[in-house]
Every structure is written in structure tokens, then in C-alpha cells.
Chain A
Amino acid sequence: MSLLSSLRSVLSAMLNRPRVEKDTDEELRAHVQNRADDLERSGLTRAEAERRARIEFGGHEKFKEECREAAGAHFLYTLLQDLRFGARMLRKNPGFTAVALLTIAIGIGANAAVFSVVNSVLLKPLSYPKPEELVALHQVAPGAAGLADFENGLLLSPSMYFTYSEQNRTFQSLGVWTKDISNVTGLEEPEQVCAVVVSDGVLQSLSVAPQVGRWLMAADQAPRGPQRVMLSYGYWRRRFGGDRGVIGRSITVDSKSAEIVGVMPKGFRFVDTDFDLVEPLQFDRGKLILAGFGFDGIARLKPGVELAEANADITRMLPIWMDSWSNGPGTDPHAYEKWKITPLIRPLKQQVIGNVSEVLWVVMGTLGLVMLIACANVTNLMLVRVEARQQELAVRTALGAGWGRIVGGLQVESVMLGLMGGVLGVAVANGGVHLLVAMGPANLPRLSEISLDGRTLEFTVLLSLLSCSLFGLIPALKYAGPKASQTLQSAGRSMSASRERHHARNVLMIVQVAMALVLLVSAGLMIRTFLALRTVDPGFADARHLQLMRIGVPDSLIHETQRVMRTQNDILDKLAAIPGAKFAAFASEVPMEGFDSDWDTVFIEGKTYQKGEMPPLHFYKHVSPGFLAAVGTRIISGRDFTWYDVYGLRPVVMISENLAREAWGAAENAIGKRLTEDPGLPWREIIGVVQDVPERAVQEKPPAIIYWPPMVENLFGRGPAQPTRVVTFVARSERAGTESLLRDMRQAVWSVNSNLPLASVRTLEEVYDKSMARTSFTLVMLGIAGAMALVLGLIGIYGVISYMVSQRQREIGIRLALGAQQGNVLKMVLGQGAKMALVGVVIGMGAAFALTRLMTSLLFGVTAHDPMTFSGVATLLILVALAACYLPARRAMRVDPMVALRYE
């Protein structure tokens, strides 16, 4: 038979359903009548003849169904029938339906929300052409002590950039870039904007064409050449209303006029950075030295080039770089060999994602577990319902319904539940994504790209189908078996619980407890991590009342060193005069602010260095007198800078305690000792030792720090005094973070110089919280997952136990009638619950022991197998299980024997 004709017959059977149905009925009936006619002729009465004919014929309905099946269209018809029946069942049990739907919707919604984040952040490729060719020129220098602690590795120096870009064989294009803050003046209020400063090769690598105008090019890099600049789409819209005529116009950037040559298109982000301006790097090639490792490298590989080849290419160029440049007379360029500089080029996407991927996978995994728990709960509900319908199923089986038909029917119901839950879940997910984006770590990369897209919807549908097959199949397999006759025999009498009857539900409950334990242990470990982070002395106090604001004084605005210092000093005086302000001070950076730090070698007087040996690099920062006191950093020994030190250009420094201990054994011993950045430069005297401060993040070991006054002679080589032009001002005030204080501070700054813009206005607490955003985000997510697991587990246990009690009412009644004490009954029920909870806890402990290792990198101050967390969570779960059993147990205790026995 051809496909077409079979299709036609199926279709006609479908379309003519009512008629065909009637015809079949009539035909079978006619048969019985004909037979009865014959039997009547053989002498039976009409009634007897018809009875005999019907018996001979057999199951009318069964054959009708078989006829339907034979005529085709059976599947669709059955489905339709099941759908109608399922919908009716769901409507008839609004309580069950609501609880089940809500559970599924929340489970699916939470998973879909997190998946959409995982998808947007981790899975989707970067939005540049051929993103797989883009790489970050990451390199490490294990031999450079001091640098090795930090994950940024060794950035590129300008001389490296020239060597790499001119000598390489594996890159289409290559460039370096960095972030900067620029002051734009002349347009309304002076404004600080975010700029990216790029060399030639960076825009070529990213290869995104400008919206208007052209890219910055090699010609724009010429030092002392005309200033040129590109705008971001957002800045262009905001400041110029999207006027295409801006090309060729000039704006004042850092007090210098710069010509606008192009605008980048909408949605273009610079690797992981939002920016307002793109400015060209203008290296003076003649003056470059080897050092100056301050730039991120980015490149586009030639097609087909592997990372290993590119790494080999860089390794080949490193000696060329050392041969081509120098750090000045008397220095050995090959001293860098000791640094063991090693290229570790990685895909740009990896650079963008950073360390957030572990967090997201852990969160995804935990929510997957929550989904399983939710499914277990719904399965339990389904089991109860199927159990209640056992009579019906048994009757249907006895009437000839096949196993497949019954399983199919149950499946259709659960698929309906699953899909409806999925639809609701999408709504939940939509809200959840907004919540996640709002709550997520502020440095969550690609934040703007997060959305519910097709892939997420696919995932949701898949998840719904998967989960409903899970909670549809178990009851079906359990109850649609060939046990119909047994059920019919026990019809109408509720038997005492048989072991086998509760097996599935007990297993589900144990699994739930186990999974909840895993989730709660993870959440517990995160709480311990968070607490541990909070107990680390961050090197400042009462961060809530410290107002920060960053101000840069461009060279073009005030050139003279002393005048810059004066201006900054004047701002301090004005800030200190604000009512309620207790301290005012400034520093090149405040802990955890995340600005790129300065590093230099440190030579200690009295220590002998081999020729050409490069001593460890140390982190250094400039602080004004009173800065340490203002933020609450303790001076352990010696004294702070004074303004006499600053204006007198005295060669004095303070150092961190760990450096003092390392070099002189104790903090006090360091006072009066001397150090320098270069043996050729004058020594600087140590006047104070400062407590260790975790500059980058509390979970990192505090680096050794050299504190310099804000105005220093011989900075980066012999030379006149130089100011620190970009600094963060701090003011301690009860009003920190309020608009009124900000107004006062703005006033104070502008009364000194109205061309100075303010940036990064925030409290130190915000900075501190942001530095822990990753931990707190993980904590909140795991906390939510853990709470969901606990509540679902509680409901699950309650459901199982109270169902068990209702099933055993008769047995309990008999026990009580025979003289059992109420206490015994209570103990029996509680014992049963406790036993299962205990089994679940033991299994969960094993699973958690294996799984928490995966989150080691997120933990701080606590091991993945922290016994306190494990035992605490286990105790909590057992208590919760007992509490969940208590209500049903009390109900069991109160069973009136007479009522229970008369019940039947």
C-alpha cells in the first residue's frame, strides 16, 4: 500500500471520526442481531438468542477498539482521548494541579534563568567577526617574584609590542591597549569619561567596522602628531545626539584639542569594557626601554594557526626583544631571562569570561539538583494520585486495556503538566534573568548580552519534557503492571501498608534528603567562606562612612609639579572644612579599587646583589599624610608622612609589615633602614611600618607594599620631583553616600578649580562589597537553591509520612485498640521518618564529599570537607525531617480506634 493511500485512509478515519465510530458500532450490532436471528430460528426465545449471540461475540468494546486500530488513526485518536481525559483529571484536582505546576514552574524557571546566563556568558561566541581567531596575548613570568601572585600575569611593554608586531609570523594583526580615564571639557560640565587607549592593530584585530568615519590608524600614533579620537555609539548619542556631522569636529580631551575621526557601532564593547572614547597610544619609539609592562595584548591569528604555534612564535621573539632594546646604560637586557617570561596565549573569550565560569557552572549544577528534587516531589504527588486511581486502572486493565495504553495515558497527563509548567517557567525565568543581572557580580562579563533567546527556550522545552517523563514514567511503571486482579480483590478495603507499596515513595524521599544535603552543604560552605572573608582585616575600618572620589589633574591643565600638589592640598583643606567631615586625604589608589597598580624593583641597603640580578618587584602606591589614619590602616611602628616631608621632598617611605619582617625580621627593625628602586638612585629612608593590607581582594595574600609620598623626586630614574596626578580622595563623614555630601564635595573641588571632573564616586564599602561580589553572588544563589531544596524536602517528607499515616489508620487503630500507648504510635511514626532521613543523610554525605571538591576554587578559609558544615547540615536536615514527621505522627497518635475500625 502506498504511503499516500495510507495517509488518506488515516485522514479520512480522523475526519469522519463520529460517523466511522457509529458505523463500526452499527456493523458489530448487526452481526449480533444476525446471529440472534439464526439462533432464534433454531428454537430459542428472542431474549435468550440475543444473550447467547452477545456472549459468542465477545467483548464488544474491545473489538471496536481493535477495529479502530486496524482502520488506522488509532494513535492520534488515542492521544486526543488521553488529552481530554488528562485535562479533565487536572481540572478536577485543582489543589494537586496547582502545587505540581508551581513546583515545576519554579524549578524550570530557575534553571532556564541560570541557563540563559550560562548560555550568554559562556557558550555564545564573542560578537566579533571570526571570534575564534581572536586571542589575548597573556604571558607569565614565574621568575619575577612579586608578580607571580597575580592572575593578570605579565602585561606587555611598549617595546614588546613593537617587536611582536613587526617580527611575528603567526598573527594577522596585533596590538596593545589599556583603559584610562580622560577629562572632557568644553561640553557643558567637565566630565570624566572611560577611554580605551589603543595601538595600531587593536581595532584591526577586532575587525568591527565603524558606524561613521574611520578607525584610528598607524598615522594617528605619531607622538607630537595631531590628536585624534573615536567615540563610542553611546557617547555619540549622548553628547552629539547621533549627529553624523561630528566627524572632523574637535573636542577637548585632557585639555588638548582632539579631532573626532570615527564612531564605533552600537553594541560594540571593547573586550570586556564599556567605553566612551578610543584614543591612540602615542609611543615615542626613540625613548622606549624594555620595561613598562602595563598593556594588554590582543591579536588575530592567521587562519589555521594553533595557539601552540603562536606561543612558539612569541617564545622565538623574546630574545629578539631583549637584543633590540635596553633599560639604559649599565643594565643587562638579558636579566629578563631570569624572569622566565613564557607566553600563555589564550582565546580572547577566555580572557573575557575570566574566573566567572566556575561560579556559573556550580550554580547551574545546584539548580539542576533543585530541579531533580522538584521532580521527586511531583513524582510523589503523581504516585499518590495514581494509587488513588488504582481501582480505575485495574478495571480498565480487566476490560482489556493494554499496558501501553495505560502508561500512555499517564504519560500524556504528566507531559501536559510538564509543558504547562514549562510555559509558566519561562515567565519565571524572565523575571529570574532580570534578578540575576541586577544581582550578579558587577564584573560579570558580557552582562549586556544576557537575554532569553531561542537556545534558552529550546533548553526549557527539553527540560520540561525530560522532567515530565521522569515523573510520569515512575508511577506508570509501578502501577500499570499486571497486578490488576490483586487490586480488584482488595477493592474497597484499605489494607495495612505493604512494604512493597511504599517502596517507590520511600526511595524518592531518601533521594530528596540526600540531594538537599548536598545543596545545603554547598550553601553552608559558601556561608563559611563569606564569614571567613569578613573576618580578614581588610586594612580599613568603618568603610560605610568613607566617601571616595577620583580626580585627575591633567598635565595640560596644570603643568607645574608644585602647583598640582598645591591644588590637591587645597582640595583636601576644602573637603576637611565640609560640615561633618572628620578626615580628608588621598592616595594613588584605595585598597580593592582595582586600578592597575605600579610595580618596581626594590633594592635594600646592605644586601648584596649579583651583577645584573633583578631583585623582586614590589607594589607601590602614593599616599598623602593622614591617608592611613583616614581609612583606618594601622601604623605598626614609626610614623606617617607629614606635609614637611612632602613639600620638602624628603626621601622617605613607609613599607608594609610583611616586607619589614622579610628583610629585617621585625617591624621595629626596619625603621631608619634604607631602600631604593635602582642602585643608581639615592636611598630612601623607611620612617614607618604599616599593617599588611590585602590590596587586590581579601582572599589574596597581602602583597608587600612600599608607600611613597604623593610628590617624589627621582621617580622612574633620576629626575625632578613629579606629582601623582590621578588620585582617589577619601573623606570620612556620617553623611557618606548621600547626595548632600556629594554636592558639598563637588562644590569643594570646583571652588579650587572648576575644570576638575569627579569620577568613581562611591563609598569604600561599595568597593569592598564589589570585591566580594563573586562570593556573595555564589552565596546568594546557593542559598536560594539550598532554601528551595529544604522547603521541597520538607514538603516531600511531610507528604510521604502523612500519606503513610492515612494508609495505616486502620492498623494504628487496631494497635491502639489492643493496648498500644499513644507514645508508642508517635515513636513508631517518627522512627520511620527518622530512619529514612538518616539513610538519605548518609547517602547525601557521601555525595557531598565527592561533589564539594568541585567548588574548591570558590572557597576561602574553609576546606571543601569542612566537618563543621557537614555535621551541622546533617543535624539540621534530621531535625527538619523530624519536624515534618511530627504533624502526621500526632495525627496518628490521635486516631480513635473505634472510628478507624468502623471506617470501612
Chain B
Amino acid sequence: MPSQAQILPGTLDLLILKAVSLGPLHGYGVLLRIEQISQGALLIEQGALYPALFRLVRQGLLKASWGTSDNNRRAKFYELTSAGRKRLRQEADGWNRLAAAIASALNTQPEEI
């Protein structure tokens, strides 16, 4: 198992949006999907996921509806709204720019100055 990292504050929303953008999910599914797409590198406190989901619904980025899960349990499924899709694009762009900038800064060699 790769060593796990606490996620940075503020990035949980982005991860949730990304996870849900790949297809409607229920809460536990979101957790599994994030673990899956981060190859288990990111650790999310399970309970903390739900307040974040509620917040995103309230902000109109996700919408929720009740359905039935694979194992025949009643579950609430989340999917992206168009506003959520837009927000994901913006946040992802911003994140990528930031990550690239930091990576490039960290890779700088003395002779490059």
C-alpha cells in the first residue's frame, strides 16, 4: 500500500467533483472512487465526506436523488450539475497551473538561474 497523504484543505471539494464527474455515485462510492483514482494515495476521513457533499448540494454544484445501489441498498446518488461541471473545470485548471508552477519551482537546478 503506498504511503497515504492527508489531503490539502480545500481540495476535498475538487476531488468529490472529479469523482462524481465520472458518473453518478453514492457517498460510499465517492469515497471508493477517490481512493481508486488516487491509487490509494489520498486518505479521506469517512464522516467528513458528508458535510462536504451537503455543502456542494447547497451550492448547487451537485444534485442528489435517491436510488438503489449495486448491493440493493437504498442510497442517495450524487451527480454534477452544469454549474458543478463548470466549477470543476475552473478548479482543475487552477490546480494544474499551481501544481505545474510548484513542480517547476522545485525542479529548478542551480545552473538554471
A residues sitting closer than 8 Å to B (CB atoms) are: 1, 5-6, 9, 23-24, 26-28, 30-31, 33-35, 37, 56-60, 62-63, 66-67, 69-72
On whether A28 and B50 interact (CB within 8 A), knowing A34-B28, A34-B73, the answer reads: yes
Are A71 and B54 touching (Cβ within 8 A)?
A: yes
Are B47 and A35 touching (Cβ within 8 A)?
A: no
How many chain B residues touch A (Cβ–Cβ < 8 Å)? 24
**B59 interface residue per 8 A CB criterion:** yes
21 contacts between A and B (CB under 8 A): A6-B58, A24-B54, A27-B27, A27-B75, A30-B28, A30-B74, A31-B27, A31-B50, A33-B73, A34-B73, A34-B75, A35-B46, A57-B46, A58-B46, A58-B48, A59-B47, A66-B48, A67-B50, A69-B51, A71-B57, A71-B58
Query: Residue B58 contacts which of A30, A59, A72 (CB distance < 8 angstroms)?
Result: A72
**Shortest Cβ distance from B60 into chain A, in angstroms?**
6
> What residues of B have a CB within 8 angstroms of the CB of A62 in the complex?
47
**B69 interface residue per 8 A CB criterion:** yes
Alpha-carbon gap, A34 to B46, bound state (A): 12
Are B58 and A70 touching (Cβ within 8 A)?
A: yes
Centre residue among A35, A60, A70 by max chain B CB count within 10 A: A70
Query: Residue B60 contacts which of A5, A57, A71 (CB distance < 8 angstroms)?
Result: A5
Chain A, Cβ-Cβ closest to B28: A34
Are A26 and B74 touching (Cβ within 8 A)?
A: yes
> What residues of A have a CB within 8 angstroms of the CB of B85 in the complex?
none
**Shortest Cβ distance from A722 into chain B, in angstroms?**
96
Are A70 and B47 touching (Cβ within 8 A)?
A: no
Chain A, Cβ-Cβ closest to B71: A37
Centre residue among A6, A35, A37, A66 by max chain B CB count within 10 A: A66
**B18 interface residue per 8 A CB criterion:** no
Chain A, Cβ-Cβ closest to B76: A27
Are A34 and B58 touching (Cβ within 8 A)?
A: no
Other than the given A1-B58, A31-B50, 16 more pairs (CB < 8 A) read A1-B60, A6-B58, A23-B76, A24-B50, A27-B75, A28-B47, A30-B73, A31-B27, A31-B28, A31-B46, A34-B75, A35-B28, A35-B46, A58-B45, A70-B55, A72-B58
**B52 interface residue per 8 A CB criterion:** yes
> What residues of A have a CB within 8 angstroms of the CB of B47 in the complex?
28, 57-60, 62-63
**B33 interface residue per 8 A CB criterion:** no
Chain B, Cβ-Cβ closest to A29: B73
Alpha-carbon gap, A71 to B66, bound state (A): 17
Chain B, Cβ-Cβ closest to A20: B54
Alpha-carbon gap, A813 to B102, bound state (A): 70
Over the window 64-79 of chain B, the binary record of Cβ atoms lying under 8 Å from chain A Cβ atoms (1 yes, 0 no) is 0010010101111000
Alpha-carbon gap, A327 to B98, bound state (A): 102
Are B71 and A27 touching (Cβ within 8 A)?
A: no
> What residues of A have a CB within 8 angstroms of the CB of B69 in the complex?
30, 34
Are A67 and B46 touching (Cβ within 8 A)?
A: no
> What residues of B have a CB within 8 angstroms of the CB of A69 in the complex?
51
Alpha-carbon gap, A31 to B76, bound state (A): 10
Alpha-carbon gap, A69 to B54, bound state (A): 9
Alpha-carbon gap, A58 to B47, bound state (A): 6
> What residues of B have a CB within 8 angstroms of the CB of A27 in the complex?
27, 50, 75-76
Chain B, Cβ-Cβ closest to A66: B51
Alpha-carbon gap, A70 to B48, bound state (A): 11
Alpha-carbon gap, A24 to B26, bound state (A): 13
Centre residue among A23, A31, A33 by max chain B CB count within 10 A: A31
Centre residue among A27, A57, A60, A69 by max chain B CB count within 10 A: A27
Alpha-carbon gap, A30 to B48, bound state (A): 15
Are A30 and B59 touching (Cβ within 8 A)?
A: no
Are A67 and B54 touching (Cβ within 8 A)?
A: yes
Are B71 and A63 touching (Cβ within 8 A)?
A: no
**Shortest Cβ distance from A466 into chain B, in angstroms?**
36
> What residues of A have a CB within 8 angstroms of the CB of B71 in the complex?
34, 37
**Shortest Cβ distance from A55 into chain B, in angstroms?**
10
Alpha-carbon gap, A57 to B45, bound state (A): 7
Alpha-carbon gap, A56 to B45, bound state (A): 8
> What residues of B have a CB within 8 angstroms of the CB of A24 in the complex?
50, 54
Chain A, Cβ-Cβ closest to B83: A1
Chain A, Cβ-Cβ closest to B66: A23
> What residues of A have a CB within 8 angstroms of the CB of B26 in the complex?
30, 34
> What residues of A have a CB within 8 angstroms of the CB of B54 in the complex?
24, 67, 70-71
